[in-house]
Amino acid sequence: MIYLLALVGLVTVTVLFWKAFGPVSHASGQPRVTGPDDDPEFLWRLNRQARKSGDTPEPGPVDPPQ
């Protein structure tokens, strides 16, 4: 029984040391890449270009409900 507890303790210590000092995972080491549809600056430029070319009308007042 004592050998089983020692084995569990050794595995636990090994895993903790691996997490603390092991290789860095790719998820935390690299910045998150956002697509153009998530980029507010891209959407702002796209909206500005559409308004200049006349593709979309200017936002106007909303009709009140009847």
Q: Where are the domains of the chain?
A: 1-53
- State the pTM of this model: 0.38
Reported confidence tier of residue 61, pLDDT bands at 50, 70, 90: low
DSSP 39: -
* Alpha-carbon distances, residue 50 vs 45, 46, 60 (angstroms): 9, 6, 16
Looking at the chain, the number of H-run helices and the number of E-run strands are 3, 0
For residue range 3-15, what is the model confidence (pLDDT) as tens digits? 999 999 999 999 9
